Amino acid sequence: MRSKRLTILSAALIMLLSACGRENSASVIIAGSTSVHPYAELLAEEYYRLPHGMMVDVQGGGSSAGIMQVENGIADIGMSSRSLKENEQHLWQIEIAKDGLAIILHPSNSVDNLTKDQIRGIYAAEITNWSQVGGADKAIHIIAREDGSGTRSAFEELVMAGSRITPRAIIQSSNGAVRQLVSGNPSSIGFISLGMVDEGEKPVKAIAIEGAAATAENVANGSYGLFRSFLFVTKAEPEGSVKEFIDYVLSPDGQRHLLHEGLIGGAAG
Amino acid sequence: MDAKIKTQSLNLFYGDFHALGDITFDIPAHAITAIIGPSGCGKSTLLRVFNRMNDLIPICRVEGEVFLNGEPVNRADTDVVALRQKVGMVFQKPNVFPMSIYDNIVMGPRHQGVKNKGKLMEIVERSLRQVAMWDEVKDMLKKPGQSIATGQQQRLCIARALAVEPEVLLMDESCSALDPESTMKIEELMVELAQKHTIITVTHNMEQAARVSDMSAFMMIDEHHVGRLHEYSKTDEMFLNPRDKLTEDYITGRFG
Amino acid sequence: MRKFKENLSGRIFFILALSSISALALITVFIFIKGVPFIAEVGLFNFLFGSSWAPDHGEYGILPMIAGTFIVTFGAALIGIPIALCCAVFLAEIAPAWLRNLFRPAIQLLAGIPSVVYGFWGLVFIVPFIMNHFGGPGVGILAASIILGIMILPTVISISEVSILALPRQYKEGALALGLTHWQTIRSVILPSAKSGIVAAVILGIGRAVGETMAVIMIVGNAPAMPRSILDPVRTLTTNIGLEMNYASGLHEKALFATGIVLFIIIMILNASAQYFTRKRSF
């Protein structure tokens, strides 16, 4: 009888142990937008080189994933490339930079310039052939991001104006993956972070929107209308090592790195 | 009696091992020839020469001549498939295929080109009647062949072999796995079949050999472990008047 | 003292075995607890037969994903199973020993390749190939079926081969002794006799295809819409969960668990059929 109880107790203990959570480590954990990811990584590297710098761990997963992880306490800082939704407004946020949203095509595509409405029509599957917008007679292959992507939300806000992106769009789950597909498919169209346009083996072409070329200057002077804020989000007002890192990102030093990479200055810059 | 099967200086090797040595004898048509001898002397190996089943063993090499109806069958260009249709085999344990009784029996004829359902049914009935099983199973031809008793399964195997109408039937200790009653039925069958077919049977059972066979071939291994044909004569003579002490000792059960 | 040690080892084994089953129990209970309330709220019919999946707009129909899973799996079976069976027959009946010793480790190696590597290879090699030679964007049903067809080969080949090798030699001898050629023996006796093992192999291969996620996510296109051709991008039940689980919350998250329930039921049915066929041996 006693040994039977002992057996059951041990079994329960094993099950309990398997349900235990993680332990805290000293470094700062950042997760979220794949658009912000490369810049956050760069900043983390630079930060680590400073005399008092500590380890900052940067992960991807998409804007919504990052925000969720901040809510759950899994990540200290969430990266977002879209604005916060209503039910997220209780979180603390700061804009660290502005980023252009590039509409990319394969370099062989003869189309160089589109209006916002044309892009909307393409993504809503109202325009289905390149010939309808001045290109070759080929079906348009639409590439979009997953629902939780900040880039997708930004795109929907800036371009779609209430229309839905067609469910027939091919979905890829990062900027890099979208870019890679577009670079190999002459009939495709996709949207990525402006800073990512030149990051990759094969080239892609970022088209002009209503006459304005896709450059950081044009975003800064307002002629290129597609841009969004990169946000750092925390559960509550940041303190300690988290605050120190955010202060660094907003400092002239941190901002200089971001500007160097093609972003536009954030709330403090 | 004319020779149905004839061997001439037959030698068989498994790689370097000399298994059968210089075997020369004639097997008469329409008779039962028993091959007897102690375990391991090569009886089954010899039997399998007649339908080239040893070809399945890559290291097996057969030298010498084997004739069926006067035609050589141990050549490289022999049509082994045609040979096996003329020389059928029943194995030690029943090896009924995992399919219906009907499908078992028509397996051979189907692959000989018989497609007509009526013709196939005729063959099934004829074969089952030959083994005296038709009345027993005629209403359950679609039942799995493996669902019937072991003794019946062996008779089914015989029926299956007979369905392709072979001239010779090789029986490799076909009764050793059966009960006495089934054994008796099959012995009666053998005698009946011998009227139209040539039967060669390997057996351990002295009484059986004495009962049913017309000719007996007694095999023994020599001092080099080569299997040889020690004595070959009419069964009655061999059992009443064995030529050799060795033969006498074996027949009377002193060894083997 | 010996009796105590015997008892103790028995109990330790029992506890360890229990902990592996406890994982299964935990997962099962979890997905049902999270998924069933969702189905109750949204309605089973709307869930299974709704053709629009748009969680942001409150739409949770997984019909396109069910179709995606079925079509992609069917394609994988069409491509992989004939090749696997020919391979199994070749290995069991035809190949000389030295060739067998070359092939078998190669097939095992195929099984050891991580699925992300399959997906990557598919993206870099198969997708452009399809785009350039068949048209369409390259990602889609055809690409996924090809990759999955290759991925299920080791499973189907090894179980089929074992089933053939497990047959008593006497069947083959009996067939040859009747005057059948080797090919006729394979076709008319060996394969039908190994039928139940082969069917089990096929079902397990299909189960593998249904459950594969990583390789498929990279090359199937992930468009949650009913496909119109094999060159169309499509989404499967597994890739739906894989894509969205990182950020889903609330009802959306529960919907993904409900998708998990659907997958669970499909796999249970497949496993049960495989068990049924292996038990139903015809020896």
Chain A residues lying within 8 Å of C53, measured CB to CB: 167
3-state secondary structure of A12: helix
Residues 6+ apart with CB under 8 A from B101: B137, B140, B141, B142, B143, B144, B145, B148, B156
Our CA-based measurement puts residue B83 at a distance from the nearest CA of chain C, in whole angstroms, of 8
Q: Cβ(C266)–Cβ(C273) under 8 Å?
A: no
Q: Which residues 183-212 of chain C have a CB within 8 Å of chain B?
A: 184, 188-189, 192-193
The reply to whether residue C19 touches residue A172, judged by beta carbons under 8 angstroms, is: no
The pLDDT, as a whole number, for residue A15 is 66
Task: State the DSSP string of chain B.
Answer: --EEEEEEEEEEEETTEEEEEEEEEEEETTSEEEEE-STTSSHHHHHHHTTTGGGGSTTEEEEEEEEETTEE-SSTT--HHHHHHHEEEE-SS----SSBHHHHHHHHHHHTT---HHHHHHHHHHHHHHTT-HHHHTT-TTSBGGGS-HHHHHHHHHHHHHTT--SEEEEESTTTTS-HHHHHHHHHHHHHHTTTSEEEEE-S-HHHHHHH-SEEEEEEE-TTS-EEEEEEEEHHHHHHS-SSHHHHHHHTTS--
User: Six-digit token pair at B217?
Assistant: 């071939």
Instruction: Answer whether residue A9 shows pLDDT above 80.
Output: no
The pLDDT, as a whole number, for residue A23 is 39
Q: Cβ(C160)–Cβ(C84) under 8 Å?
A: yes
The reply to whether residue C11 touches residue A15, judged by beta carbons under 8 angstroms, is: no
Chain C residues lying within 8 Å of B97, measured CB to CB: 171, 174-175, 189, 193
- Taking one residue from B and the other from C, the number of pairs with CB-CB distance under 8 angstroms is 68
The pLDDT, as a whole number, for residue C283 is 38
The reply to whether residue A188 touches residue C137, judged by beta carbons under 8 angstroms, is: yes
Query: With bands split at pLDDT 50, 70 and 90, how would you rate the model's confidence at B251?
Result: confident
The reply to whether residue C54 touches residue A15, judged by beta carbons under 8 angstroms, is: no
Triad C248, C251, C254: Cα angle to 5°: 75
Q: Which percentage of chain B shows pLDDT scores above 70?
A: 99
Q: Which residues 253-282 of chain C have a CB within 8 Å of chain B?
A: 282
Chain B residues lying within 8 Å of C178, measured CB to CB: 84-85, 88, 107-108, 111, 160-161, 164
> Would you kindly state where each structural domain of chain B is located, as residue ranges?
3-95+168-251
Our CA-based measurement puts residue B135 at a distance from the nearest CA of chain C, in whole angstroms, of 24
pLDDT in tens, A29-86: 999 999 899 999 999 999 999 888 789 999 999 999 999 999 999 999 999 998 899 8
Q: C interface mutation test: which of A14, A69, A143, A185 has the most C CBs within 10 A?
A: A185
User: Six-digit token pair at A152?
Assistant: 């997708």
The reply to whether residue C246 touches residue A10, judged by beta carbons under 8 angstroms, is: no
pLDDT in tens, C158-199: 999 999 999 999 999 999 999 999 999 999 999 999 998 999
Query: With bands split at pLDDT 50, 70 and 90, how would you rate the model's confidence at B254?
Result: confident
The pLDDT, as a whole number, for residue B7 is 93
Instruction: Answer whether residue C13 shows pLDDT above 80.
Output: yes
The pLDDT, as a whole number, for residue A19 is 53
pLDDT in tens, A141-170: 999 999 889 899 999 999 999 999 999 999
Q: What is the mean pLDDT of residues A232-250?
A: 92
Between B160 and A261, the more confident residue is: B160
pLDDT in tens, B143-186: 999 999 998 999 999 999 999 999 999 999 999 888 888 899 99
Distance CA A157, CA B43 (A): 91
Domain B3-95+168-251 sits in CATH 3.40.50.300: yes
Distance CA C130, CA A248 (A): 48
The tally of CA atoms less than 13 A away on the side-chain side of residue C181 is: 5
pLDDT in tens, A104-133: 999 999 999 999 999 999 999 999 999 999
φ, ψ for residue A69 (rounded to 5)?
Answer: -70, -30
User: Six-digit token pair at B65?
Assistant: 């001549």
Distance CA C114, CA C106 (A): 15
Burial annotation C141-165 (CB, 10 A radius, 16+ → b, else e)? bbbbbbbbbbbbbbbbbbbbbebbe
Q: What is the mean pLDDT of residues B61-82?
A: 93
The reply to whether residue C221 touches residue A170, judged by beta carbons under 8 angstroms, is: yes
ipTM: 0.93
Query: With bands split at pLDDT 50, 70 and 90, how would you rate the model's confidence at C280?
Result: low
Positive or negative, the Cα torsion across C164, C168, C171, C173?
positive
Mean pLDDT for all residues in chain B = 92
pLDDT in tens, C80-124: 999 999 999 999 999 999 999 999 999 999 999 999 999 999 999
Instruction: Answer whether residue B214 shows pLDDT above 90.
Output: yes
CB-nearest to A148 from C18, C221, C246 is C246
Q: What is the mean pLDDT of residues A181-206?
A: 93
The pLDDT, as a whole number, for residue A21 is 46
Distance CA A136, CA A109 (A): 8
pLDDT in tens, B220-233: 999 999 999 999 99
| CB proximity C222 to A under 8 Å | yes
Residue A101 is inside which H or E element, if any? strand A92-105
The pLDDT, as a whole number, for residue C282 is 43
Triad B112, B117, B118: Cα angle to 5°: 105
CA distance to A64, A156, B44, per residue, from A87 (Å): 12, 19, 87
| CB proximity C179 to B under 8 Å | yes
Distance CA B89, CA B162 (A): 9
Distance CA C74, CA C78 (A): 6
- Burial class from Cβ neighbours inside 10 Å (0-12, 13-18, 19+) for residue B250 reads buried
Our CA-based measurement puts residue A220 at a distance from the nearest CA of chain C, in whole angstroms, of 31
Q: Cβ(A154)–Cβ(A101) under 8 Å?
A: yes
The pLDDT, as a whole number, for residue A22 is 42
pLDDT in tens, C27-83: 999 999 999 999 999 999 999 999 999 998 889 999 999 999 999 999 999 999 999
Instruction: Answer whether residue B218 shows pLDDT above 50.
Output: yes
Which amino acid is present at C142? L
Q: Cβ(C171)–Cβ(C190) under 8 Å?
A: yes
Q: Cβ(C225)–Cβ(C50) under 8 Å?
A: no
Nearest CA to C233 out of C132, C137, C126 is that of C137
The reply to whether residue C233 touches residue A170, judged by beta carbons under 8 angstroms, is: yes
Please give the radius of gyration of chain C, using alpha carbons only, rounded to the nearest integer. 23
Instruction: Answer whether residue A24 shows pLDDT above 70.
Output: no
The pLDDT, as a whole number, for residue B155 is 94
pTM here is 0.83
Q: Answer whether A touches C (≥3 Cβ pairs < 8 Å).
A: yes
Q: What is the mean pLDDT of residues A242-253?
A: 92
Q: Cβ(C106)–Cβ(C179) under 8 Å?
A: no
Distance CA C233, CA C136 (A): 9
Query: With bands split at pLDDT 50, 70 and 90, how would you rate the model's confidence at B256?
Result: low
Instruction: Answer whether residue A269 shows pLDDT above 50.
Output: no
- Burial class from Cβ neighbours inside 10 Å (0-12, 13-18, 19+) for residue B238 reads buried
Residues 6+ apart with CB under 8 A from B208: B34, B175, B183, B187
The reply to whether residue C180 touches residue B107, judged by beta carbons under 8 angstroms, is: yes
User: Six-digit token pair at A57?
Assistant: 């761990």
| CB proximity C57 to A under 8 Å | yes
Q: A interface mutation test: which of C247, C251, C253, C256 has the most A CBs within 10 A?
A: C247
List all chains that touch chain B, counting a touch as 3 or more CB pairs closer than 8 Å: C
What ranges in chain C are assigned the alpha helix state H? Answer: 2-42, 44-49, 63-89, 97-112, 115-121, 127-133, 141-151, 153-165, 169-177, 182-185, 191-193, 195-211, 214-219, 237-244, 250-279
Q: Cβ(A77)–Cβ(A30) under 8 Å?
A: yes
The pLDDT, as a whole number, for residue A259 is 86
> Inter-axis angle of helices C250-279 and C63-89, to 10 degrees?
30
The reply to whether residue B110 touches residue C188, judged by beta carbons under 8 angstroms, is: yes
Positive or negative, the Cα torsion across B220, B223, B224, B230?
negative
Strand partners, B7: B25, B66
Q: B interface mutation test: which of C178, C186, C187, C190 has the most B CBs within 10 A?
A: C178
The pLDDT, as a whole number, for residue C106 is 95
The reply to whether residue B111 touches residue C178, judged by beta carbons under 8 angstroms, is: yes
φ, ψ for residue A235 (rounded to 5)?
Answer: -65, -45
Chain C residues lying within 8 Å of B173, measured CB to CB: none
pLDDT in tens, A46-56: 999 988 878 99
The pLDDT, as a whole number, for residue A16 is 66
The reply to whether residue C178 touches residue B81, judged by beta carbons under 8 angstroms, is: no
Our CA-based measurement puts residue C79 at a distance from the nearest CA of chain B, in whole angstroms, of 29
Q: Which residue of C has its CA nearest to B143?
A: C282
CB-nearest to C222 from A10, A170, A184 is A170
| CB proximity B89 to C under 8 Å | yes
Nearest CA to B29 out of B52, B58, B6 is that of B6
Residues 6+ apart with CB under 8 A from B35: B43, B46, B47, B200, B201, B202, B203, B216, B217, B219
The pLDDT, as a whole number, for residue A20 is 52
> Would you kindly state where each structural domain of chain C is located, as residue ranges?
2-48, 64-280
The reply to whether residue A147 touches residue C221, judged by beta carbons under 8 angstroms, is: no
CATH level 2 (architecture), domain C64-280: Orthogonal Bundle (1.10)
Instruction: Answer whether residue A267 shows pLDDT above 70.
Output: no
Q: Which residue has the tokens 């068949």?
A: C134
The reply to whether residue C15 touches residue A62, judged by beta carbons under 8 angstroms, is: no
The pLDDT, as a whole number, for residue A26 is 55
3-state secondary structure of A19: coil
Instruction: Answer whether residue A268 shows pLDDT above 70.
Output: no
A223: DSSP letter: S
Q: Cβ(C91)–Cβ(C157) under 8 Å?
A: yes
Q: Which residues 227-246 of chain C have a CB within 8 Å of chain A?
A: 232-233, 235, 243-244, 246
Chain A residues lying within 8 Å of C222, measured CB to CB: 146, 170-172
Q: Cβ(A216)–Cβ(A226) under 8 Å?
A: no
List all chains that touch chain A, counting a touch as 3 or more CB pairs closer than 8 Å: C
Distance CA C147, CA C122 (A): 7
